[in-house]
Structure formats: C-alpha cells, structure tokens
Amino acid sequence: MIARYSVDTSALIDAYYRTYTPNVFVSFWRYLTDLASRGVVVASEEVWQELAKKRESELTKWAKSVPGMFQRTDSEVQTTVHDVLSAYPNLVQANSAKSKADPFVIALAKVRVCAVLTCEQATGNLQGPKIPDVCRALGIRLVTFSQMLHEQGITI
C-alpha cells in the first residue's frame, strides 16, 4: 500500500525556500509533483488559500500547476476539524499568526488515514499546541520530507 501524506503550508514553504530550493534540488520538485499528482501527497484547500496569499510567489505557481494536490473540504473533514478544535481550541486563535489551515491538515490526515508532513516542532503543551502536539495526542504519524523520501524509496 502506498503511504499518503497531508502536507502543511509551513512544510512547503520551508522546503521551497530553505531545505530543497528548486534551483538546487530540481529532482525533489519533480518527485513531489509526481507524488501529488498520484494522490500520495495531498493538501487541504486551506493550505492552498494560505499559499495563494503570496500571489506571485514561485511556490504558489508550482502549487497551482499540480493537478489534484489540493483536496476540497468535504463534510467528513469539516466534522473532524470541528472535533479537533473542540478538543484543542488553542490550535487556532483569532487575530493571531497561527495558521488557520492547521486543523484542516490534521483533519485531512485523520480522515484519509495518512501521515502529516510538517516542519513544525512540538511545544509539548496542549494548551498552546502546534500540529505535532495535536497529531501525537490523536495518534497521527508525523513525518518530514526527508522521511517521506526515504519511505517512498526516492533518492535525489
């Protein structure tokens, strides 16, 4: 069975601008495009909305070019977002810099039974959690892009 991954906005930004810059890691972006096109790597439409705020960025242009990567929020994901926010209301706060897409990344992973791809670090505090804290509490596996590449047998 092919593993699936729900990718966080911060992971895409970190990969594109810091870790796997496309001018150096051309093959990484080819592989990621292929994995996303085949549904192995998915993102919630809320991740797209966060990326789209950076309208003319090269990352946004890349993301727009990947067919099928961004998943519509169906009723099952929406219900799961509600459950996540009911249990962890401080995951997202009004008028803060915290990502509004975070509960959707987690809910998509829970509903589609896949791992979360993020570069965030756990706070160790469920009263002010980040994605890794909530994923660990919910039993959702966390991976980095490096781990994903290894699991998929990809070398770059």
End-to-end CA distance of the chain: 22
Q: Where does 5-151 sit in CATH, by number?
A: 3.40.50.1010
pLDDT at 56 over 90: no
Identify the weakest region by mean pLDDT among 1-10, 93-102, 107-116, 145-154. 93-102
Tokens of 33: 């495009």
CB 152 within 8 A of CB 40: yes
Which whole-number Å values give the CA distances from 7 to 57, 126, 141, in the listed order? 18, 21, 12
Element (H, E) at 42: strand 41-44
Rounded-to-integer distance, Cα 95 and Cα 21, Å: 31
State whether residue 32 is helix, strand or coil: helix
User: How confident is the model over 77-100, as pLDDT tens digits?
Assistant: 999 999 999 999 999 976 565 568
Other CB atoms within 10 A of residue 95 CB: 5
Model-level pTM? 0.93
User: How confident is the model over 16-38, as pLDDT tens digits?
Assistant: 999 999 999 999 999 999 999 99
pLDDT at 54: 72
CB 139 within 8 A of CB 36: no
Say which DSSP state 143 is in.
E
User: What are the sequence ranges of the domains in the chain?
Assistant: 5-151
Say which DSSP state 16 is in.
I
User: How confident is the model over 105-130, as pLDDT tens digits?
Assistant: 999 999 999 999 999 999 999 999 99
Rounded-to-integer distance, Cα 31 and Cα 152, Å: 10
pLDDT at 95: 59
